Structure 1
């Protein structure tokens, strides 16, 4: 508790509140869209950088361009581990409770993240590893996912608000403690799949295993949007003003998500 108080004391309360609320609003909006549009489209939309975007925005406001670029490279490696997080949850969702499935998925992420962070934090290496991880996890996950199960249309706004505020607290903590964590820790933790974890837990509890496996299998492809964000930021942050680099990264992510959603809609009967 003393350490947390020390971290939060490093920035004004007004700035801390802005970080939390800004992140929470975006997470709530995307969470609502996931419930409305169903698991396939929802999984693609869940890959929008709702936590990475605000996280790197606040990080860029207090860190050097080189630090941000390196953190983005490590975030890309962290996203490789996220694919195995999603696969692990998909595999055990049909035979375990939501909390047990979440614990297993998080343990898998920790092991995978430790392994991937041993690789050089370079954008090209990260992209190659991410493509390999995505191909393996999507193919294996297809054996356990049930894409015919739709999500219900209604979900409690209170759950969305709680999920968003929790994500906002995480972003505020990591970006504030970035100087202590270093680029490695900040990058890995900013890409920690807290959004996926909360979405998976909520959907599993409310709609069952079939819906959550469909959602998370689609999210494996949705994570490509996050990888696009991190790759673009890692390549441009050292050479362009932070606002421009973040704009390019966000545009890249949105275009990837648009392509994924359009592809899902096109494949629907």
Structure 2
């Protein structure tokens, strides 16, 4: 039993490290190659939450996973506030001070949301409301102009991606011991956005960061679609079709955001 547990832990660490590193590298590269709209939308793909919930589904009963997915939706509301704080602080603060303010805001919001009932529809409604508020509150910075700095090299992007992967692997693996509510809240901690934000802020400047994260406010809707779908269907379906359905919903939302012009207007 102990050997099986260790195998699961190490495989979870490896997959989550790789997924998070891929998100960071992909988003950072796509911002420079295709612009902030595409980069922000791609940041919403469940490349971290997908593997995380796969491992939860292998270790825990359906009710546990359903509750964790519900609290992940709540956590994504805190993520929207996290992104909003970065957008508002980035023009005036250093990358690390900006990040500190955002993480503190996320922690306070997540603590309050941990007392919410296990209601996926309520979580989704709250997410939509917080997203609308965040888009409106950040609208004055939508046309922010600035001079981009030199782009980071691939070596630096991969190093930062690997570091983010290590952090998320440790957090999400440990969170499975904390119960479904804390597991879901911590699973959806925006570690990918954290490293992406610092990387873009340092290498491309505050203007590119603001544009990217305003797009990411829309892009997080893909994660909300993934978690909401899981929360609604997981106790009624086998784990594999449930995960595939949630992933399909998330990808459909991402494609819609990339190709629909209203997402550009924010």
User: Is the TM value for this pair above 0.5?
Assistant: yes
Judged with a 3 Å threshold, the aligned counterparts in structure 2 of structure 1 residues 236 and 167 are, in CA distance, closer, same or farther, namely farther
| Candidates 226, 231, 236, aligned match of 1:234 | 231
Match of 1:205 among 178, 191, 202: 202
The 5 Å alignment of 1:174-213 reads 174-213=171-210
Cα pair distance change 1:56/1:171, threshold 3 Å: farther
Structure 2 counterpart of 1:120: 117
Of 69, 91, 98, 1:101 maps to: 98
Aligned counterpart, 1:260: 257
- The aligned counterpart of 2:62 is 65
Q: Structure 1: give runs of 5+ residues left out of the alignment.
A: 1-8
**Is the CA contact (8 Å cut-off) linking 2:40 and 2:216 kept in structure 1?**
yes
When normalised by structure 2's length, the TM-score is 0.88
Please give the alpha-carbon distance, in whole angstroms, between the structure 1 residues aligned to 2:71 and 2:122: 11
> In 2, are the aligned partners of 1:90 and 1:145 still within 8 Å (CA)?
no
Contact map agreement 1:35 1:153 (CA 8 A) in 2: no
Q: 2:47 aligns with which of 45, 50, 54?
A: 50
If the length of structure 1 is used for normalisation, what is the TM-score? Answer: 0.87
Q: What SS does structure 2 have at the residue aligned with 1:61?
A: helix
CA displacement 1:29-70 (0-9 Å, x = unmatched): 344333321112211111111211121122222222111111
RMSD: 2.4
List gaps (5 residues or longer) in structure 2. Answer: none
- Corresponding residue number in structure 2 for 1:243: 240
| 1:216 and 2:213 are equivalent in the alignment | yes
